[in-house]
Structure 1
Amino acid sequence: MTKPVSHRGALANPPNRYDRLAGEACDDGWDLGEDETATPRIEVAVDSTRTIITRNKSPDVPFGRSINPYRGCEHGCIYCYARPTHAYLGLSPGLDFETRLLAKPDAARLLERELSHPRYRPAVIAIGTNTDPYQPVERSRRIMRQCLEVLAAFNHPVMITTKGALVTRDLDILGPMAARGLAAVNVSVTTLDRDLCRLLEPRAALPRVRLDAIRQLAGAGIPVTVMAAPMIPALTDHELEAILAAAREAGASAAVTLLLRLPGEVADLFRQWLETHVPGRAAHVLGLLGQARGGQVNDSRWRSRFTGEGPLAALLSRRFHLACQRLGLRAARGVELDCRQFRPPPRAGDQLALF
């Protein structure tokens, strides 16, 4: 059994798939006490990207454009499907993903430049699709807020996904945008169990805090979708109806559920987590997941990677839709946002319009 790392999701820092060399810790007989790296500190570097809007054509997601103010995520969710992207940086999808972050301080400036281009045509921009824009580092960096200020100035629609309660800080921007049909928020609630949450998502907001965030967002007139995701067989799937009911009571108007997926290095990290924190259930969880993934722990095919196949996936889908029907939740991801209001704001020196 691997020793857990305090306040971290991953239990190790395995080499990424592009590394040609790998190191392995061993006991050399010198008793030097606890390793200083046992609880690695957060490091934030600058990502000097030259563009900020990412485009995709995936048939599995309801958006074609996204922004990620950060790379890596302090929340440390052990199941996070974005972990393998850290390998592109020469870093580990394990502890590095949670502690060696890259921030994009020029994000707002780049966004303003791209939205101002004469050939730009508006479409909903999703933020938080890869790493959480409201992870703890945002409290001091404020990159997400700066991006929202630009989007509000351009009357550009935005859909946010988060499990960070810091989203309520920006109600003063999101509320007026939502009133014009320009903003919606997805709040991810994986479990209502505080202790399990602390193991699965060690630095994310607690379940009750996320529900309170839903309450505040809905109270400000912002459409909120609860994402009961990912559903983990034999670990969190029994909570599906309770999560939906709690979110509905807090003010959510729509809901989505997704089956756990374990791409790339996430599979081994999650297996190690199971064997350490819930060893009696590890084989059962992975076995059920395999039943829904064609005998594997992951299925990357379009249109099945989020839902799975077979009896387990069908039962989960049926339970979800029945619960949504009973609770009055719309079973859909996101809402229709208005792209027709998009207008670049006037700048000093601009020529006045003739009409």
Structure 2
Amino acid sequence: MAVEKGRGATLNGESRRFNMPERIADGDWLDALEEVDGLPSRRRTQVTVEQPRTIISRNKSPDIAFSQSINAYRGCEHGCIYCFARPSHAYHDLSPGLDFETRLFAKPNAAELLKAELSRKSYIVAPLAMGTNTDPYQPIEKDWRITRQCLEILWECRHPAYITTKSDRILRDIDLLAAMAENSLISVMISVTSLNPAIARTLEPRAPHPLRRLDAIRKLSDAGVPVVASLSPIIPAITDHEIETLVTRVAEAGAREVSYIPVRLPHEVAPLFRAWLEAHYPDRTAKVMGIIHDMRGGRDNDPDFGSRMRGQGVWADLIRARFLKARKRAGLGGERLTLRTDLFRPPQGDQLRLF
């Protein structure tokens, strides 16, 4: 199986849940030509401007600690093969495979929409989560700066927020984050799934090196920004041997808490992940999938609330026990951070700023 350098997915799998036609019929002739005579192709990242009408999404999931979120982008160039957000690209008649990490969408009016929604009299303050679907600090943020613009609005309004990322690019906004942290308005979660460069290079091909993420934890913590480290996802027989080391290293870097979720394979992620295993770990594909099935009730994925985030069975129990023991040894697991909502003030118009 051919593996495209710098990309996570090994194929551009189809989705039958929506209206995405066959890839060849959709005009991807280069992919078809590659299959016929081996012509190599190198996909370049494309960014399409999206103009949504609203920017705040809301959920009622009992598994998730937040009720509303912002996503400045669709798709993610980091290319993490396990990303649960990949199936969302099918809504655009695009593949959850290579399309997800090469054909991106940016929402340049996000800050404007956010300001308008926060101005509504009916708006109820609750922490906004950023990075719930795709990483707010993926490479294109360097040029588009949409995440930065949204943070500026949130700081102006003294609005609380959670940020989830696996990128040290977040340090570019440390001035805003430090100011928000002084007022208990921000919490950052940084994902560190493996310290092995060989694993990280194929698992998360365009995400920053794990050591850079540890450095980001350290610098944010030194600036007074509370950081939670995430080991998610823990992949059996691929990354689970690093649980204890990862917990120790993130604690040493200054993380105040650590969390994890066993690997999830919803919808089209499952065949993409299996193809990735066959390309990079053919000697243990059956073992990895066997353990995943054991943790997911005999399936590729368990969609049920509660168990989907924890897993079940002997393997899930073993991972949980090891994690809890490592967390206790590292001195983590203290009181949960609560962000303030009482400081919120609606956005001011340009006229009011004159007084």
The Cα shift of 1:326 comes to 1.1
In the alignment, what sits opposite 1:165? 168
2:65 to 40, 59, 62: 62
Q: Within the alignment, does 1:22 sit opposite 2:22 as a pair?
A: yes
Q: In 1, are the aligned partners of 2:258 and 2:327 still within 8 Å (CA)?
A: yes
The Cα shift of 1:347 comes to 2.9
Shift in CA distance, 227/30, structure 1 to aligned 2, threshold 3 Å: closer
Shift in CA distance, 351/138, structure 1 to aligned 2, threshold 3 Å: closer
Moved over 4 A (4+): 23-31, 350-353
Structure 2: which amino acid aligns with 1:5?
E
In the alignment, what sits opposite 1:40? 43
In the alignment, what sits opposite 1:236? 239
1:169, 1:180 → 2: CA distance? 20
The Cα shift of 1:351 comes to 11
TM-score for both structures, normalised by structure 2: 0.94
2:318, 2:155 → 1: CA distance? 41
2:196 to 193, 197, 201: 193
2:184, 2:4 → 1: CA distance? 43
Q: Within the alignment, does 1:214 sit opposite 2:220 as a pair?
A: no
In the alignment, what sits opposite 2:293? 290
The Cα shift of 1:162 comes to 0.2
1:321 to 324, 330, 347: 324
In the alignment, what sits opposite 2:28? none
1:237, 1:309 → 2: CA distance? 16
Secondary structure of the residue aligned to 2:105 is strand
Shift in CA distance, 118/34, structure 1 to aligned 2, threshold 3 Å: same
* 1:283-311 per-position Cα deviation (integer Å, ceiling 9, x unaligned): 00000010011111100000011111011
Secondary structure of the residue aligned to 2:324 is helix
2:275 to 259, 272, 276: 272
In the alignment, what sits opposite 2:341? 339
Shift in CA distance, 350/20, structure 1 to aligned 2, threshold 3 Å: closer
2:237, 2:132 → 1: CA distance? 26
Cα RMSD after superposing both structures: 1.9
Structure 1: which amino acid aligns with 2:82?
Y
The Cα shift of 1:23 comes to 4.4
Shift in CA distance, 225/27, structure 1 to aligned 2, threshold 3 Å: closer
Shift in CA distance, 29/310, structure 1 to aligned 2, threshold 3 Å: closer
The Cα shift of 1:317 comes to 1.1
For structure 1, the 5+ residue unaligned runs are: none
Shift in CA distance, 52/232, structure 1 to aligned 2, threshold 3 Å: same
* 1:147-194 per-position Cα deviation (integer Å, ceiling 9, x unaligned): 000000000001000001100000000001001000010000110101
* 1:253-285 per-position Cα deviation (integer Å, ceiling 9, x unaligned): 001010000001000000000001010011000
1:218, 1:207 → 2: CA distance? 17
2:156 to 133, 149, 153: 153
The Cα shift of 1:53 comes to 0.4
1:80, 1:206 → 2: CA distance? 17
Q: Within the alignment, does 1:74 sit opposite 2:77 as a pair?
A: yes
Q: State, as a whole percentage, how many aligned pairs show the same letter.
A: 50
Shift in CA distance, 244/45, structure 1 to aligned 2, threshold 3 Å: same
Secondary structure of the residue aligned to 1:22 is coil
Shift in CA distance, 73/26, structure 1 to aligned 2, threshold 3 Å: closer
Structure 2: which amino acid aligns with 1:311?
V
In the alignment, what sits opposite 1:9? 8
Shift in CA distance, 30/347, structure 1 to aligned 2, threshold 3 Å: closer
1:15, 1:108 → 2: CA distance? 33
Q: In 2, are the aligned partners of 1:324 and 1:331 still within 8 Å (CA)?
A: no
2:98, 2:146 → 1: CA distance? 23
In the alignment, what sits opposite 1:128? 131
* 1:219-272 per-position Cα deviation (integer Å, ceiling 9, x unaligned): 110000000110001110110111111000000000101000000100000000
Q: Within the alignment, does 1:304 sit opposite 2:307 as a pair?
A: yes
1:319, 1:172 → 2: CA distance? 37
2:23, 2:80 → 1: CA distance? 25
Shift in CA distance, 23/146, structure 1 to aligned 2, threshold 3 Å: closer
1:138, 1:167 → 2: CA distance? 10
Structure 2: which amino acid aligns with 1:100?
R
2:353, 2:160 → 1: CA distance? 26
1:184, 1:29 → 2: CA distance? 46
Structure 2: which amino acid aligns with 1:34?
L
The Cα shift of 1:21 comes to 3.8
In the alignment, what sits opposite 1:86? 89
The Cα shift of 1:30 comes to 7.8
Q: In 2, are the aligned partners of 1:255 and 1:331 still within 8 Å (CA)?
A: no
TM-score for both structures, normalised by structure 1: 0.94
* 1:319-351 per-position Cα deviation (integer Å, ceiling 9, x unaligned): 11111111111278x721000100124334349
Structure 1: which amino acid aligns with 2:345?
R
